[in-house]
Amino acid sequence: MTDAEASDDQELVDADRRKFLTAATSATAAVGVVFAASPFIASWQPSERARALGAPVTVDLSKLEVGQMITPMWRRQPIYIFRRPPELVAQLAAHDGRLKDPKSADSEQPAYAMNERRSRRDDIAVLIGVCTHLGCLPKQRFEPGDAQLGTDWPGGFLCPCHGSRFDLAGRVFSGSPASVNLRIPPYSFPDENTLIIGEDGTSTASGAA
Amino acid sequence: MASNDAEYSPGFWGWLNKRLPVGKFMREQLLEYYAPKNFNIWYFFGSLALVVLVMQLFSGIFLTMFYKVGETTSFDSVEFIMREVNYGWLLRYLHSVGASAFFVVIYLHMYRALMYGSYKAPRELLWLFGMFIYLALMAEAFMGYVLPWGNMSYWAAQVIINIFGTIPVIGPGLVEWIRGDYGVADATLNRFFSLHVVAIPLVLLLLVALHLVALREVGSNNPDGIEIKAHRGADGKPLDGTPFHPYYTVKDIVGIGLFLTLFAVVVFFVPSFGNLFLEEANFEPANPLSTPEPIAPAWYFTPFYAILRAVPNQRLGALLLLIAVMAFFFLPWLDRSPVRSIRYRGWWFRGFLAAFTVSFGALMWLGLKPISPNYLTAARVFSVGYFAFFLLMPWYSRWDRVKPVPDRVRFHE
Amino acid sequence: MNRSALFAAALLGAACSLSVAGQEPAAPAAEAVPWDSWQAGNEVSNVASLQRGFRNFMNYCVGCHSMKYVRYSRVATDLKIPTGMLKADLLPDGAAPADYIHASLQAQDGVAWFGKEPPDLSLIARSRGVDRIYRFLKTFYLDPSRPTRTNNLVLDAAAMPAVLSDLEGVKAAVFSDVKVTVDGRTITEKKFDHFVTVVPGRMSGPEFDAFLRDTVNFLDYAGEPAQVDRRNLGVWVVLFLLVFTWLAWLLKKEYWKDVH
């Protein structure tokens, strides 16, 4: 390929130096390409506007009645907030055998929601209303003994897309296409009647200030 | 690497090459393409133009992910990109500085052709493709400048579209047709967006491909203007040539590194470049009731703008602007010299080229300035210097006392 | 190798001097310099100055002027203001930290009271330049003929009143008659000569200058919040590219030994 008229000795030295320089330049170029690509890739991360819109949401619970559910949006997801009747909360352990993940070992929730009732408080349930199968919105079926779901139905949610069923703590029933319990966002109660979704005193979900 | 046609390498490479001539293409275009040995600094700008094109495509594609076209949303979305998109400011500056860099590179690329006669036979078509690329680039830059919908964007659109109104008979109708409304408006902005993001880039890519194919066919010119294919060695290869790879790949990389360094200095430290690359007036939203003062197009258009303003008659001024751009197209046929490169031309050509260069630079400067009697006179003088280069070329290129052209290249390495 | 090292050093020097050039010199004494040459002398990297400027903006400007592209939370992050302090001292009532900065004044009231809506100031530093804004704020003078009873040297018949007069004081402008030849005819023009203090303000001259410098500094920051990061990143990028170019140069020299 090259027309070098140098002696064999010199040609050997040249080849080594060329290999080294080619490798060094190529390696530097590769590093450069990675660094150059990173702002482009980073630009896809949620913008400051997205993060600001994803800031914590404050909910007033004073008007929430027993058995009633409200669905504010937080980070573009519906958050199911409902007040559970205490007698149904007490019976949550009874159907543990029919659940895929009764102790929530495989499911996603903050530490304070890793209990039987999957919440900070007995009465108020906070769940992300997105089916853990393929993302549809589960519909509420709070009444126990529903005609469609069977007399042993303890109350909970039925997903209309593929039939996954969850209990009043968002735990998934065996036989459902979904495999883990409904996810739970970070939340806290600054006072009795106020709920903040997205803030729980440990680490504010990364967002504006 | 595939060795000859009948045999293919084992493995994936052989499988691929049997179906798609990748190895053959690389071999023919890189290893077997001989470029003249004596390329100097003026020969970097073609590859640099490609680099800038790729950079504009990348930054432009990503900007389009966040930009929201519309007369009520465009300006806001640009500020959204600058402030709230991660590294959005970098995307924006890459694209805005890149646009100016494109013209710096292209003007130097074209100037090389003027100096070394690269537009002369058999490279006329290569030159014409390049000129079409230049036209497409001017349209692309103009439309891109309108997209932020700042006050200069709006008024640039207004003024430049109005130039089309000077065309006899069809002018006024044409202007309304271009605008899509009674004045520059949302309709104008939206169609410019489509043309800038989709249509013209596709046209540009096609033209660049044609330009490169034409180059490959006739081979590159060189600073001495001689045909290297005229003298071949025993192996059939041009004596004054060297394989493009690795010699010019390696040399172009140095050019690219230098260019990127200078480019980075501008992008990161002076992206507005003293009001030349990003004008102050464009940081205010479009206002149909307030024309910026002074009003001027981007620096790469100002030479032609100065010529337009130098003429006291609107229609004539527009015509002269057109001729100023179109004159380049005729260079291969205006130039009657038997010699290509300035190195072997006489003093007529050198004088006129120098006058043209000074005039182009002066007109560029004058086009940025507000109107005044002195500037007007100067613009007229330099317009003469500009046009004289082209209009008188058929004569002075023949009168010129040329020097003997050597057989083989002479270069300084 | 020597040539390339020299060249690299030259480029590096150019990059350094460009970054240094971005920093303005301190503003000279106002009296010694004609008013149309005054410079703000602000440094956007000076966070303490930006904090004071933000406070000044919230105290004196946000009543009428919005900054609709600037979020309070972003300012707090960039200026290192703790959220608690932001909420307690700086955030207006009813505003959340993630909100954009809106003026208290309604648009139609602005038009009714001042003749035009006070412009948004997010980009004012980029469209006018910090020095011009600095001069604008420093050249209000008493003019009983105007509805605001003030006029301005930078912007004649400015609709904005002299809102900083309690700090700066009230001053009158003294003009002298100057004969000027225009188009062959000699006419008399009024040329500004000097200011005269009518009512002293709460701040001394240098104090007020510092106040303006901080405020204009904040406007400079608000025009392009990323500028300090931009320059810092730029140093690394340019250095990397110089190293890369140098390596590529060595590679080129090595291969071109073949070509003679």
B246 touches C: beta carbon within 8 Å: yes
Reported as half-sphere exposure (CB side, CA atoms, 13 A), residue A39 has a value of 19
| pLDDT range class, residue B196, cuts 50, 70, 90 | very high
Cβ neighbours of A53 in C, within 8 Å: 98
d(CA C114, CA C155): 15
Return the half-sphere exposure (C-beta side, CA atoms, 13 A cut-off) of residue B315. 6
Give me the residues paired with residue C176 across strands.
C191
Q: Quote the CA–CA distance of B133 and B125 in Å, as a whole number.
A: 12
Residue in A17, A29, A55 closest to C254 by CB: A17
Q: Which two tokens stand for residue C73?
A: 């939370």
- What is the bridge-based pairing of β-strands B34-36 and B241-243? antiparallel
> What is the spatial distance between Cα A134 and Cα A129, in angstroms, rounded to a whole number?
12
With a CB cutoff of 8 Å and minimum separation 6, the contacts of C185 are none
Cβ–Cβ of A47/B86 closer than 8 Å? Answer: yes
Select the residue of A28, A35, A52 nearest C73 (Cβ to Cβ). Answer: A52
- Confidence at residue C15, expressed as pLDDT on a 0 to 100 scale: 53
pLDDT in the model for residue B307: 96
DSSP B98-132: HHHHHHHHHHHHHHHHHHHTTTSTT-HHHHHHHHH
Q: Which residues pair with C171 in a beta bridge?
A: C197
> Distance between CA C19 and CA B337 in Å, rounded?
49
What one-letter code names the amino acid at A148? Q
Closest residue in A to B250 (Cα) is A22
What are the C-alpha distances in Å from B59 to residues A146, B276, B331, B386, C55? Answer: 57, 20, 35, 35, 37
- Tell if the CB–CB gap between A43 and B86 is shorter than 8 Å: yes
CB-based contact C244 A4, cutoff 8 Å: no
Structure tokens at C48: 């303490």
Subunits next to C (3 or more Cβ pairs <8 Å) are A, B
Option in B58, B84, B246 nearest A49 (CB): B84
Q: How confident is the model at residue B413 (pLDDT cuts 50, 70, 90)?
A: very low
Q: Do B31 and A1 touch (CB under 8 A)?
A: yes
Mean pLDDT of B252-278: 96
How far is residue B143's CA from residue B136's CA, in Å, rounded to a whole number? 11
Mutate to test the interface with A, among C73, C81, C83 (most CBs of A within 10 A): C73
C258 to A55: CB separation less than 8 angstroms, yes or no: no
Query: Which chains does A contact via 3+ CB–CB distances below 8 A?
Result: B, C
- Chain B contact for C192, CB < 8 A? no
Residue A74's Cβ-count burial label (10 Å; 0-12, 13-18, 19+) is: buried
Model confidence band, residue A206 (pLDDT cutoffs 50, 70, 90):
very low
B151-155, B256-260, B329-333, C19-23: range with lowest mean pLDDT: C19-23
Task: Please tell me the predicted confidence (pLDDT) of residue C28.
Answer: 46
pLDDT at C7 (0 to 100):
55
Give CA angle at B192 (B187, B197), nearest 5°: 135
pLDDT, tens digit, for every residue of B53-88? Answer: 999 999 999 999 999 999 999 999 999 999 999 999
Residues in chain C with pLDDT values less than 70? 1-32, 260
Compute the distance between CA of residue C127 and CA of residue B275 in angstroms, rounded to an integer: 10
Q: B382: Cβ–Cβ under 8 A, 6 or more apart, which residues?
A: B306, B358, B359, B362, B363, B366
pLDDT in tens, A161-171: 999 999 999 99
Q: Which residues of C touch A208 (CB under 8 A)?
A: 71, 73-74, 97-98
**This prediction's pTM:** 0.88
Chain A residue closest in CA terms to B257: A29
Amino acid at B275: N
pLDDT level of residue B89 (50, 70, 90 thresholds): very high
Question: Nearest by CB to C237, which of B37, B89, B268?
Answer: B268
**The pLDDT value given to residue C18:** 52
B358-382: pLDDT as tens digits: 999 999 999 999 989 999 999 999 9
Residues of B in contact with C233 (CB under 8 A): 268
Considering only B165-169, B180-184, C10-14, which range has the smallest mean pLDDT?
C10-14
DSSP state of B238: B
Instruction: Please state the separation of Cα B23 from the chain's center in Å.
Output: 32
In chain C, residues with a C-beta closer than 8 Å to the C-beta of A50 are none
| Gap from B108 CA to chain C (nearest CA, Å) | 21
Q: How far apart are CA C152 and CA C144, in angstroms?
A: 13
Banded model confidence at residue B6, pLDDT cuts 50, 70, 90: low
**Cβ(B298)–Cβ(B141) below 8 Å:** yes
What pLDDT is attached to residue C258? 85
Taking the C-alpha atoms of residue C154 and residue C124, their distance in angstroms, rounded to an integer, is 15
* pLDDT of A113 higher than 50: yes
Q: Closest-CA residue in chain A for C250? A: A21
Residue by residue, DSSP assigns A138-194 as: PEEE-SSS-TTT-TT--SEEE-TTT--EEETT-PBBTT-S--SPPP---EEEEETTE
Instruction: Give the integer Cα–Cα distance in Å for C231 and C237.
Output: 10
The pLDDT-based confidence of A208 (bands split at 50, 70, 90) is: very low
Contact status of B37 with chain C (Cβ, < 8 Å): yes
Residue A1 pLDDT: 45
A208 at C interface, C-beta within 8 A: yes
* Chain B residues whose beta carbon lies within 8 Å of the beta carbon of residue A17: none
In angstroms, the CA B367 to CA B379 distance is: 8
Taking 90 as the threshold, does the pLDDT of residue A204 lie above it? no
If you average pLDDT over each of A122-136, B42-56, B279-293, which comes out highest?
B42-56
Q: What is the mean pLDDT of chain B?
A: 94
The larger pLDDT score, comparing residue C114 to residue B259, is at: B259
A 12-41 residues inside an 8 A Cβ radius of C: 14, 17-18, 21-22, 24-25, 28-29, 31-32, 35
Q: How close A52 gets to chain C, by Cα (Å)? A: 6
Tell me how far apart the alpha carbons of residues A38 and A31 are, in angstroms, rounded to a whole number. 11
Q: Are C248 and B257 in contact (CB under 8 A)?
A: yes
pLDDT tens digits, B91-122: 999 999 999 999 999 999 999 999 999 999 99
- Mark yes or no for CB contact B84/A42 under 8 Å: no
